[in-house]
Amino acid sequence: MIARLTSSFTRSAVITALALSVSFCAAQTTSSVYTNPRAGADDPRIGLKGGLYDAGEAAFGLKRIVSLPKPAGFAPDLAAIAAIDAAPEPAPGAPRAPRPPGPAGPAPYGTTNSDLAFSSTHLFVGNYNGVNFYDISDPAKIKLVTSMVCPGGQGDVSVYGHLLFMSVEAANGRLDCGTQGFPVPAAATPTPAPEPASPAAPGAPVARQRPPLPPPSSDRVKGVRIFDISDISKPKQVADVQTCRGSHTHTLVVDPKDKDNVYIYVSGSAAVRQAEELAGCSGADPSADPDTALFTIVVIKVPLAHPELSKVVNSPKIFTDPASGDVNGLWKGGTHGEGTQTTSATRGCHDITVRSDLGLAAGACSGNGILLNISDPVHPVRLDAVNDPNYAFWHSANFSNDGTKVLFTDEWGGGGQPRCRSTDPMNWGADALFNLKDGKLTLASYYKMPAPQTELENCVAHNGSLIPIPGRDIEVQSWYQGGVSIVDFTDISHPIEIGYFDRGPVDGTRHAMGGQWSTYWYNGYIYGSEIARGVDVFKLVPNKYLTQNEIDAASQVHVAELNVQNQEKFSWPANYVVAHAYIDQLARSNSLDAKQVSSLNAAIAKNKSKELKTMAASLDKDAAAAKSPVDANRMHKLADIIKQGGAPLQASLN
Amino acid sequence: MAEEGSIRFAFRLYAAALLCLSIVPAPCKAQATPADAPIVQPGAPGHSNKTLTAATAAGPHREPSEADVKFMQDMIMHHGQAVEMTELLKTRSHNTEVQAIGDRINVSQTDELRYMKQWLQDRGKPLASEHDSMAGMDMSGMDMADMAMMPGMLTPRQMDTLRKSTGSTFDHLFLTGMIQHHTGAVNMVKQLFNTQGAGQDPQLFDFANDVDNTQLAEIDFMQHMLKKEHQ
């Protein structure tokens, strides 16, 4: 079914792609590309004490206002952790020596918290064991309202109206949300004897083993679950859209031209299911089976009036080489030159971020960063693809608000490994910042959370969102146990850190999985999902890089829903709160001197329209000679606001 | 059951409270206790929900499957050989590009070795299975030189040849050997997910998928390097 839809699509996509002259960026030299430096030995994040709920903390520009530990069913097992800590280390060199009994069960730190979604006054925290719903009408008094138990990681969530979407890829996901998983055979598993490697020439293909396949199960779910959350305390499962590789992540796509449906882009990176379990699934090489579930993403259509009828409507082969028609048309892995990073072959996407208003999507697709035209959301068409010698695994993407930049992340090591040690290169496991112009991506710089972390802390670039500060490109981002880092990439060639929050390791003596999975700005606050510790709520605090006026301007931006991968454009009211933010920025960059600043402030305070109009005119004029195009833009925006004059109410907000 | 559950829940709150009393006040001030919210388990589409208790929400305690444990034990031995091979690089190879890929493999396999050992340790399992050692077996009359311990692992004879080589011969044997080795690891992951009941431990699931992603990428990388040899 999926396959048939695809082949006809592929042809048209190829033609369009050719017409748009798809380019494939060759290896880029890195010597000229800026990478932010590692922090000095005096960084307060170095040497923080470990602990689950009592770790040492360091913060700058961010204040943690409240944290809620994971609730029952998801929470760490404190007794088990204590037992592990008390157990003596096994003697080295005795691999088969008896171990202390395993008191921990599968997860002493509870089940993994994952991605976040927001709707009105509710926060949805995904977890490998389900989703927790929180009331955030008063963020400082965040309150759990419903725990929904429904295992099957990663539990990525999106919300649209009364519908909640959840990604399932794990081997224990059941249609009935059962926690029992699937039975392990009672008798000892017949493990096939290790097969001797071919003694023939080294490098000869290893003989394929044919182990017994697990029986397919009609109880298993891999794909996207859809819940009706009209009654927040009684979520109801209305549909499960099954896919061949499950859903590692998914992206809500809202087509501005289609009011009756929403779409879901499914990114899957796990093994392909048996055809016996889900008809049509094939994990074969595309040369052997053109209908393979590899080298594609899956598009689900959700009819809003009948979400139970949601189904897969396309499986576009977005990696196709327009010249040869080979569906495995992008980066096949390989060297980019001496000393460069290994890049995963592009077999699927890990995550996709869409900007429906621009008709664009940025895909982080294992071996490539790609750009898609999604004007027709069911039939995305590749516009550009880039690779990078320092990138191991393209993980996620964010657009700048004006759509001229894309920040990609590299999850080198998969998230479970400590890759922010002082020995790990600053351009590996980092963000890569690209300029986006005329549908083409060009590398501008790398950014990595600068404070070296310990061997005990899993750390690499992870999920983040924009903070709507007018006049600047600012992202708050998670780095697992590297904490939260706020990066300003207004000058894309020189990204700088302007705030951070970090805790010591979850466990100060041994490696334990934890840290921030997602950290997103939502309506004036920053929310973090901590894998082991629960939910954190933060506020920005002014510092030398950020003023209260800028924070106030950002806090004026209110959205009804937030699904970070369905990125919406921010806009700001033309009021004096925003004007003051621009004035602060122009003062910081010395484009306005102290005298100009004080006279502007005085005129705004008095709200004298004639005086303001004169000032606006001179700002527009001075913009031509501004220190940078960014400052020129700020001056024009500021002039626009003060020309109109601010209503007293707006002025009083400041 | 419900009673038992609420007692355990109460204990957890108590434990959390104790922690807060005994530790630095700053982080605890903000540490709120979990609210008393319903724990709902939705049914399959068209079926009704269940309400769970704090005790039942986490699900049954499940021991890792035998295949899971065996996978980790085998992969430890498998990774061990890769680290041994990358150690040889330091003295045998003069090619900086081969050394660079070797360094990366060394970093990832060393990190993963630590990870796998801790996974087994946390679950009270031995780091090696009985099958992993030929010690004590009567091997007289068997020629073991061409027998590999695990899929893709180099045979004793291959390892011996590698140890004795240097320069470009070494580089070639290293790349072909590591491709063979990684291909074996990728097959071990495939075999794990094709075993009934295996891979349901979430940490193991994530880890095995990452082994698959990383090693496939490294295979591609090394194949390109081999191609360049012929240019």
Model confidence pLDDT, tens digit, residues A527-542 = 999 999 999 999 999 9
Give the DSSP H or E segment for A355. strand A351-355
Interface contact A194-B228, CB threshold 8 A: no
Predicted confidence band at A4 (pLDDT cuts at 50, 70, 90)? very low
Indicate the range of A222-231, A557-566, B114-123 predicted with least confidence: B114-123
Which three-class secondary structure state does DSSP give residue B85? helix
A 236-275 near B (Cβ less than 8 A): 236-240, 269-271
d(CA B150, CA B136): 19
Average pLDDT in chain A: 86
- Over residues B37-51, mean pLDDT: 96
Of the partner residues B41, B131, B214, the one whose CB lies closest to the CB of residue A149: B41
Query: Could you report how far apart the first and last alpha carbons of chain A are, in Å?
Result: 58
The Cβ-side half-sphere exposure at A268, using a 13 Å CA radius, reads: 29
User: Could you please report the per-residue DSSP string of A567-603?
Assistant: -------SSHHHHHHHHHHHHHTTSS-HHHHHHHHHH
Sign of CA dihedral A217, A112, A455, A101: negative
- Cα–Cα distance between B59 and A129 in angstroms, integer? 9
Cβ contacts (< 8 Å) between A218 and chain B: which residues? Answer: none
Tokens read off for A266: 């499914």
Nearest to A47 by CA among A419, A451, A319, A369: A451
- pLDDT of amino acid A565: 97
CA distance A641 to B143: 86
One-letter amino acid at A19 equals A
- pLDDT band at residue A340 using 50, 70 and 90 as cut-offs: very low
Kindly determine whether residue A189 and residue B196, on different chains, have CB atoms separated by under 8 Å. Answer: yes
Q: Would the pLDDT of A139 be above 60? A: yes
Of B57, B53, B40, nearest in space to B1 by CA = B53
Structural tokens at position A368: 């490539």
Q: If you measure CA to CA, which chain A residue comes closest to B56? A: A73
Q: How many angstroms separate the CA atoms of A210 and A91, rounded?
A: 37
Confidence label for B143 from pLDDT (cuts 50, 70 and 90): low
Q: Encoding tokens for residue A420?
A: 């922010």
Asked whether residue A25 carries a pLDDT value surpassing 50, the answer given is no
Burial, A183: exposed, middle or buried (Cβ in 10 Å; 0-12, 13-18, 19+)?
exposed
Q: Which residues of A are less than 8 Å from B151 in CB distance?
A: 194-195, 197, 206, 209
Mean pLDDT, rounded, for B92-116: 89
Q: Please compute the mean of the pLDDT values over residues A316-345 and round it to a whole number.
A: 64
Best of B19, B213, B229 to substitute, by most chain A Cβ atoms within 10 angstroms, is B213
What is residue A27's DSSP assignment?
Answer: -
Residue B229 CB neighbour total at 10 angstroms: 11
Write the CB contacts of B174 (distance below 8 Å, at least 6 apart in sequence): B85, B88, B89, B92, B93, B98, B102, B162
Q: What is the DSSP string of A129-174?
A: TEEEEEE-SSGGG-EEEEEEE---TEEEEEEETTEEEEEE-STT-B
A134, A142 Cβ separation under 8 angstroms: yes
pLDDT in tens, A444-479: 999 999 999 999 999 999 999 999 999 999 999 999
Helices (H) and strands (E) in chain B, counts: 7, 2
Residue of chain B whose Cα is closest to the Cα of A194: B150
Q: What is the pLDDT of residue A564?
A: 97
| A485, β-bridge pairs | A477, A500
What three-state secondary structure class fits A59?
Answer: strand
- What pLDDT is recorded for position A402? 97
Looking at the DSSP bridge assignments, the partners of residue A398 are: A407
Give A383→chain B minimum CA distance, Å.
Answer: 24
Mean pLDDT of A265-271: 90
Please, are residues A490 and A546 in contact by the beta-carbon 8 Å criterion? Answer: no
Q: Provide mean pLDDT across the span B44-65.
A: 90
What's the average model confidence in pLDDT over A256-285?
Answer: 91
How large a percentage of chain A has pLDDT more than 90?
67
Q: What is the DSSP letter of A186?
A: S
B127 DSSP assignment = S
In terms of phi and psi (left: phi > 0; alpha: psi -120 to 50; beta: otherwise), the region of A602 is alpha
What would the two tokens of residue A236 be?
Answer: 């109801």
Per-chain mean pLDDT for chain B: 79
CB-based contact A307:A163 (threshold 8 Å): yes
**Mode of pairing for the β-strands spanning A516-522 and A463-467:** parallel
Q: What is the pLDDT of residue A89?
A: 66
Residue A79: partners with Cβ closer than 8 Å, 6 or more residues away? A103, B15
Average pLDDT of span B159-169: 93
Tokens of A350: 């890990």
Whole-number pLDDT of residue B25: 38
Could you tell me if A310 and A241 are in contact, meaning their C-beta atoms sit under 8 angstroms apart? yes
User: Which region among A121-125, B18-22, B208-212 has the lowest average model confidence (pLDDT)?
Assistant: B18-22
pLDDT in tens, A605-630: 988 888 999 999 999 999 999 999 99
Per-residue confidence at A284, pLDDT binned at 50, 70, 90?
A: confident
Q: How far is B146 from chain A (nearest CA, A)?
A: 6
pLDDT band, very low/low/confident/very high, at B63 (cuts 50, 70, 90) = confident
Residue type for position A612: L
Q: How many CB atoms lie within 10 A of CB A548?
A: 14
Q: How far is A196 from chain B (nearest CA, A)?
A: 5
Closest residue in B to A248 (Cα) is B206
Among B28, B37, B130, beta carbon nearest to A147: B37
Cα separation, A192 vs B167, whole angstroms: 38
The pLDDT value recorded for residue A581 is 98
- Interface membership of A75 toward B (CB under 8 Å): yes
Closest by CA position to A192, among listed B69, B151, B119: B151
Which tens digits make up the pLDDT trace of A360-395?
999 998 778 999 999 999 999 999 988 876 777 788
- Token digits for A492? 């894309």
Q: Name the residue among A112, A191, A195 with its Cβ closest to that of B67.
A: A191
Q: Average of pLDDT values for A91-97?
A: 57
Q: Please answer yes or no on whether B70 and A191 come within 8 Å at the CB atom.
A: yes
The pLDDT of A338-344, averaged and rounded, is 43
Answer whether A196 sits within 8 Å of B152, measured CB to CB: no
Amino acid at B85: M
Which of A170-174, A366-370, A649-653, B114-118 bottoms out in mean pLDDT, i.e. has the lowest?
Answer: A649-653
Distance, CA of B118 to CA of B121 (rounded, Å): 5
Residues A542-597 have pLDDT tens digits of: 999 999 999 999 999 999 999 999 999 999 999 999 999 999 999 999 999 999 99
pLDDT above 50 (res B151): yes
Environment class of residue A627 by beta-carbon count within 10 Å: exposed (0-12), middle (13-18) or buried (19+)?
Answer: exposed
Residues A391, A402: contact at Cβ < 8 Å?
Answer: no
| pLDDT reported for residue B72 | 95
For residue A59, which phi and psi values (nearest 5 degrees)? -145, 150
The residue among A334, A421, A338 whose CA lies nearest residue B100 is A338
Percent residues over pLDDT 70 in chain B: 77
pLDDT at A8 over 60: no
Which of B116, B205, B218, B223 would best serve as a mutation to test chain A binding (most A beta carbons within 10 A)? B205
Which of residues 47 through 106 in chain B touch A, CB cutoff 8 A? 47, 49, 52, 54-62, 64-67, 70, 74, 96-97, 100-101, 104
Instruction: From residue A190, give the alpha-carbon distance in Å to each of A181, A651, B19.
Output: 20, 75, 46
List CB contacts of A117: < 8 A, sequence separation 6 or more. A123, A124, A126, A157, A158, A159, A164, A561, A562, A563
Instruction: Label the pairing between strands A351-355 and A311-314.
Output: unpaired
Give the integer Cα–Cα distance in Å for B123 and B119: 7
Q: What is the three-state SS of A442-506?
A: EEEEEECCCCCCCCCCCECCCEEEEECCCCCCEEEEEEEECCEEEEECCCCCCCEEEEEEEECCC
Give CA–CA dist A152/A220, Å, rounded: 10
What is the C-alpha to C-alpha distance for residues A329 and A347, in angstroms, rounded to an integer?
10
Enumerate long-range contacts of A615-622, CB under 8 Å, 24 or more apart.
Answer: A615/A639, A615/A642, A616/A640, A616/A642, A616/A643
DSSP at A230? S
Per-residue pLDDT for B51 more than 90? yes
User: From the CA of B151, how many Å to the nearest CA of chain A?
Assistant: 6
Regarding an ipTM greater than 0.90, the answer is: no
Q: Which residues of chain A from 399 to 418 reach within 8 Å of chain B, CB to CB?
A: 413-418
Which residues share a beta bridge with A168?
Answer: A154, A223
Is the CB of residue A511 less than 8 Å from the CB of residue A503? no
Which of B120 and A89 is assigned the larger pLDDT? B120
Residue A640 phi, psi (nearest 5): -55, -40
Task: Indicate the pTM of the whole model.
Answer: 0.87
